[in-house]
Every structure is written in structure tokens, then in C-alpha cells.
Structure 1
């Protein structure tokens, strides 16, 4: 696996809706820009060799960095694969939709739910939203949120941007009733 760069973003919201957020709402994203393991090969029927070469090592690289950058106990999480224009959506999906990748984050966060995800193909600098859900109960509505990311120089046409995101809380100032009130 060849990593061109790693980007860490930490967002801290102190005021939302004109009111103080206490404690502040923290979200962290760590993204790695890697060479697409299937670049230049045309259509590849069996993606398993590339998955084996990349997924576990990438999960092991990113997961602890998100936990560290967040600086607080994780309550919500998500993932993203943004594929350069010469790749296929399936290339990013192959990496992030495997337990070899996601279990590193679940274990680091003591989580039990599946990671919500976004996959998208685009040019360098394309904006994308990483969906986040509660880390143990995907029905907790306060933690349904997204975080917008844009990396100016990534992905290049033969690269994939893989990102993990974590939040220390649900949406700041959330006021929706629990899902159980509508059932």
C-alpha cells in the first residue's frame, strides 16, 4: 500500500443556534490518500488481491488516529471512499466494505454497529459528506449527522481517498424525540 498523504481534520463547535454548546461538539476525520490498487488494470473480476493488500493495513492506520484526534470518547462514526476519475466506485467499496477494514475502527471505538458510508468518484477537491451514526445503536436519532470534507489535491485520477470520521456526541442542540415515540 502506497500512502501519498494523511490528512487530519478536527472540528469543534462552541455555539450552535445562538447558544453555547457545552461541552463543545467535536468531530474528527482522518483520511489517507492511496494509490488505487487496481489502477491501470482495466476491469478486474476478482478484487480480493487488492483488498488483501490494502484493507486491513489501512484500517489499522486510520482507526487509532481518529480516536486520538477526537480527544474524547467516540459516540458516532462513519467512513468514506472517494475514487479518482480513472477508478470505479467498486474499488473504494471493496476496501471499506470489508471487516478487514471496518473492524479496526469498531474495536478501537468499542462499537457494535455497521459503519455508515459514502462512496463517490470525483476529481481532486470534490466535496463529500461522511454520514455518521451512533456507534452501538443506529436508531438513536440524535447521532444521525454528516460531516462535509474536501481535500484540495485529492484524489488524483489513479488514487483513492479513504476516510474515517468520529464524533464525541450527537448533533449540537438536537431536540428530536426518540424514535420509540413514533412506533
Structure 2
């Protein structure tokens, strides 16, 4: 099987005002999305290992780098991250899951983000060209830090075609602009936000 990427799209945003209040620092988020050929579109295939071997490791390296480059940051500056797959209508959600839910995808991603430790949160669904995907984001070192729980909506107008998959990686330099609900650590200790 050959790696076939039709295009890579990078989407970024910087939020300066949230909830009618200026952010102390802009919330900077970027996602890189690869539109790839789905060799299993339109048929059932039991063994997904060739798909994993072709795409997982390569995209686990390419996409986080592209997202970080678009923000002009290093992996040490990434505070939170996530991943996703949007599968064209002739594919199975399992095809996208096979690519992103592997250590060959996750380990390079975590290493690029300063040896991050948490599992990458994910979103997977099937959809037509132009469908949106809400990428889940969590803190890269501690999943209980609620300030970094958020989503980032992405879409590509002409993808995925029925025989394609979009694989996405998202990174951010901070959590939400004005977090004030407290961490799960505190709540587990019986301390609630005031």
C-alpha cells in the first residue's frame, strides 16, 4: 500500500476577546489536516494493519509539526492537543480509528509535543465533503486540568470525498481564555470553585 495524500490543510485561530473580556494572552490553536486516500472504501476488509503501517506513523509526525509550524511554536510551547478522523461516506469509522488509535500515531505526536504524557483525546465520524469535525483538546501532561478541555471545529470544503479520510492533529498554547471552574484534582479533594 502506498501513502497517498491529496492535500494538507492548516487551520489556525487566535482569540483575543472571549465572553466580552480581553484575554490576558491570546488563545492560539492550530490544526493540520491530511486528506488521504482510503484504499478500503466501498468494501469490507478484515485486516487493517496495512492501512496502519502506511499512514499512522507518518501522519503522527507530519501533522503535529505542521500545526506547530503554523503557530511558530516548538513542542515545549504546546500545552494541549488532540486528534481526529473524518471518514468519507464509502468508508468505515474503523478505518480512521485504525490510523489514529495506535502508538505509532500517538507516540511521535507526544514526543514532538515535549514528551507529553496524556492520551490524545479524539473525535471520529463519517461525513460528506465539507462536514465539520469538532476536535477534542486536553492538557498534554495532566488530563484532569479542566482549563484545557475544549474543542476546535474544522472543515475542508472539498473533503472528504467518498473514498477519502481526513486525519487531523490539533495543538494549542494555552487553555480557555478565562477558566474558572477549577481542576478535577481540587474537586476530588472536595474543594469546589467559589
TM-score range, shorter chain: over 0.9
Is 2:125 the counterpart of 1:120? yes
1:53 and 1:18 map into 2 onto residues whose CA distance is 46
Match of 2:41?
39
Is 2:112 the counterpart of 1:104? no
SS of the equivalent of 2:81 reads: strand
Alignment of 1:1-183 (within 5 A): 1-40=3-42, 42-72=43-73, 73-110=77-114, 111-183=116-188
User: Mind listing any 5+ residue stretches in structure 2 that lack a counterpart?
Assistant: 189-194
User: Mind listing any 5+ residue stretches in structure 1 that lack a counterpart?
Assistant: none
Aligned-pair distance for 1:43?
1.0
Runs of 4+ displaced beyond 6 Å:
none
Aligned-pair distance for 1:22?
2.4
Moved more, 104-113 or 64-73: 64-73
Q: CA offsets, 1:122-163, max 9 Å, x none? A: 000111100000001000000000011111111000000000
1:82 and 1:99 map into 2 onto residues whose CA distance is 19
Moved more, 165-174 or 59-68: 59-68
Aligned-pair distance for 1:180?
2.5
Aligned-pair distance for 1:71?
2.7
2:8 and 2:107 map into 1 onto residues whose CA distance is 20
2:28 and 2:82 map into 1 onto residues whose CA distance is 14
SS of the equivalent of 1:52 reads: helix
SS of the equivalent of 1:132 reads: strand
User: TM-score of the superposition, structure 2-length normalised?
Assistant: 0.90
